[in-house]
Structure 1
């Protein structure tokens, strides 16, 4: 069925590069963007052009080209299968890795879309913040980590980052435990130029650390 072995191998290599650079692990962003950021480069232009996305699209198209030209028959079926694998399997791959090989905070799953924070003024100078964050520890060992909150750079006035008034928060999850973590903070607003008086934030961004281990989620 394979008539050009070199083309098939090249197709597989390009596919694996695209696949792994698209994985959102260990952070809540594609691995490719993390690598580019560590090199001091940017994945997007000021006008919104996604350089990394264009590069990965070109590599994936090249992978499909070499795959098609390496096969004697069933080219369309294999191309469709490759597309399905790229689109649908990354979450399963990440979960399988966390359940079997990951240790420490890399075995943690943070369900960002289910997590939220609420804020309400207690008096003229004090704001109450309460957050509910959902975590799963896929490891059989306890995991202890320190948590701080992040905020989108253009959000004004600041909201979630106000919870860092008491950060870092130390949290421990037992082996194979899943639970809601409730965090509270009383924030002094007397010296703040701008702040919210009430509000709710969903999809809360966080940073978790444990020694040299670091994840943005």
Structure 2
């Protein structure tokens, strides 16, 4: 089945390099991207990423080397490799968090959080947010929670980040526990001329801050 070991080793090395270029830990840069290829954020609010283009080209070369290293089963091997490539980072992160991860590095977020806003007066909004966090470590962890806006190319007004008017929010997660965070805040938006009157956001993005450490999720 293996026709050329040198090509196989080169392919494995290139896949490994590709995985490390934008490894989704401690920050996951993919969640801010509006154009992606495999594990590479091609474009986000900061523009195009040359490194992502380089990584994409490297992955294509890795696939070519993989095909050339085999005498048969090319398609199924490539598909299996891409599946492993997609899920391996998640498995490694989970293993790390459940074994030696501490503090905010042991916290996971399912990405399903939501925020809804309703105008109360001309200068006040009622903001309600709900999100689920899990502490995988054997020790409690306390951190500050900050909200970030999801990037939409055609929409530049603040939505989720309006919650930071009353923030940051100090959160404590007990050891090996899962917690649904529910916030209900009356927000004074008099200093936010472009604040929305009503609206909401799904799959909200957050930042966890613990001392000098932070994680974008």
**Structure 2 alignment gaps of length 5 or more:** 34-40
CA distance in 1, matches of 2:178, 2:191: 38
CA distance in 2, matches of 1:120, 1:5: 62
How far off its partner does 1:5 sit? 3.8
How far off its partner does 1:102 sit? 1.9
How far off its partner does 1:216 sit? 0.9
Contact 1:14 1:60 in 2 (8 A): yes
User: Could you report, residue by residue, the CA deviation over 1:148-170 in whole angstroms, capped at 9, with x for unpaired residues?
Assistant: 11114664432211111121111
Contact 1:44 1:52 in 2 (8 A): no
1:139: which partner in 2?
A: 137
CA, structure 1 residues 211+5, in 2 after alignment: closer, same or farther (shift >3 Å)?
Answer: same
Contact 1:99 1:107 in 2 (8 A): yes
CA, structure 1 residues 153+59, in 2 after alignment: closer, same or farther (shift >3 Å)?
Answer: closer
Q: Is the partner of 1:131 in helix, strand or coil?
A: strand
2:11: which partner in 1?
A: 11
CA distance in 2, matches of 1:101, 1:67: 34
After superposition, the CA RMSD in angstroms is 2.9
CA distance in 2, matches of 1:70, 1:156: 48
1:28: which partner in 2?
A: 28
Q: Is the partner of 1:80 in helix, strand or coil?
A: helix
CA distance in 2, matches of 1:193, 1:78: 55
Q: Is the partner of 2:9 in helix, strand or coil?
A: helix
CA distance in 2, matches of 1:27, 1:153: 16
2:37: which partner in 1?
A: none
CA, structure 1 residues 188+64, in 2 after alignment: closer, same or farther (shift >3 Å)?
Answer: closer
Count matched residues. Answer: 206
CA, structure 1 residues 175+71, in 2 after alignment: closer, same or farther (shift >3 Å)?
Answer: same
Q: Name the structure with the higher strand share.
A: 2
